Amino acid sequence: MDISSQKITLLSKMLLTPRVLWLRFQLSEPFCFQAGQFIKLEWDVNRQQVARSYSIASPPYQGMTSLSLVATLLANGIASTQFQHAQPGWQIWLKGPYGRLLLSKASECPPQLVLVATGTGIAPFYAMLPELEEYLKKGCQIELFFGVRNTEDLFFYYPFRMLAERFINFRFSVCFSRLQTTNLPHGHLGYVQDRLIVLDTHPSALVMLCGHPDMVDRCFSLFTKEKGLKASQIKREKYILNH
């Protein structure tokens, strides 16, 4: 897919949790991307250019005029501070799309798809929801593991819970790292790796990992060393801070 550049305008924003902001931008030109990809945003702060990457959290659609992303608000982070203060009408540059966290068409779906995310690393999988539904209709077994600190930090829960209610071949696990107990449907305690250890992995599974860099490294090692998957069966996107 060609990399293009265009000016985009903030349309609206909303806190999904106290630490996660959802932002919707108006496009000024047509933009082609696939669910799972990310963009680079660029703007100036005190005449210095700032560039930050964000996964696209909205699915592509025909005649698309806007796209959304979700950003974790880091204390004193340059982009985090800018996003908190930005008002509708704020204009910045978008470059992209980038990334290889892509699904093949449903007719070529693997027997098992394992999706693992921490925090805003869930964004690309949220953008994939229409494609995941097609995979499920084709009989693919999908396992989603989503790691967050606690219930207050949880977002995008209901769309995935609804999917689990509609398809028996979709399993959803929310992994709370900082809770001692939970009675939330699909809720578990610990890191995503703690659930992955007990997962029966199909030898032809496709795995997608997104979010905290250390989680991505640990899960990659778990799938390749302990579950016998090849590196080519694992797609990764690390949310590295200093880039």
Ligand X SMILES: Cc1cc2nc3c(=O)[nH]c(=O)nc-3n(C[C@H](O)[C@H](O)[C@H](O)COP(=O)(O)OP(=O)(O)OC[C@H]3O[C@@H](n4cnc5c(N)ncnc54)[C@H](O)[C@@H]3O)c2cc1C
Ligand Y SMILES: NC(=O)c1ccc[n+]([C@@H]2O[C@H](COP(=O)([O-])OP(=O)(O)OC[C@H]3O[C@@H](n4cnc5c(N)ncnc54)[C@H](OP(=O)(O)O)[C@@H]3O)[C@@H](O)[C@H]2O)c1
Residues that bind ligand Y (CB under 6 A): 72, 118-120, 147-149, 177-178, 191-193, 211-215, 218, 239-241
Does 193 bind ligand X (CB under 6 A)? Our answer is: no
118 makes contact, choosing from ligand X, ligand Y, none, with CB < 5 to 8 Å by partner type, with: ligand Y
* Tokens describing residue 243: 């880039």
With contacts defined by CB under 6 A, how many residues of the chain interact with ligand X? 23
Which residue, 109 or 192, is less far from ligand Y as judged by CB?
A: 192
214 makes contact, choosing from ligand Y, ligand X, none, with CB < 5 to 8 Å by partner type, with: ligand Y
Of 70-78, 153-161, 173-181, 227-235, the segment contacting ligand X by CB under 6 A is: 70-78
Q: Whole-number minimum distance, CB 16 to ligand Y, in Å?
A: 12
Of 17, 53, 58, 68, the one binding ligand X (CB under 6 A) is 53
Q: Whole-number minimum distance, CB 196 to ligand Y, in Å?
A: 10
Which residue, 115 or 192, is less far from ligand Y as judged by CB?
A: 192
Of 103, 113, 117, 123, the one binding ligand X (CB under 6 A) is 123
Cβ neighbours of residue 97 closer than 8 Å, sequence gap 6 or more: 1, 3, 31, 32, 33, 34, 37, 38, 39, 56
CA distances from 152 to 162, 173, 176, 240 (A): 20, 16, 10, 24
Strands (E), the chain: 4-17, 20-27, 38-45, 48-55, 66-72, 91-98, 112-118, 141-148, 170-176, 187-189, 206-211, 234-238
79 makes contact, choosing from ligand X, ligand Y, none, with CB < 5 to 8 Å by partner type, with: ligand X
Does 184 bind ligand X (CB under 6 A)? Our answer is: no
71 makes contact, choosing from ligand Y, ligand X, none, with CB < 5 to 8 Å by partner type, with: ligand X
211 makes contact, choosing from ligand X, ligand Y, none, with CB < 5 to 8 Å by partner type, with: ligand Y
Distance CA 215, CA 149 (A): 14
Distance CA 54, CA 37 (A): 9
Does 175 bind ligand X (CB under 6 A)? Our answer is: no
Distance CA 243, CA 240 (A): 7
- Residue 20 β-bridge partners: 17, 72
- Residue 96 β-bridge partners: 4
Shortest-Cβ-distance residue relative to ligand Y: 119
Where does this chain bind ligand X (CB under 6 A)? 38, 52-55, 69-72, 74-75, 77-80, 120, 123, 237, 239-243
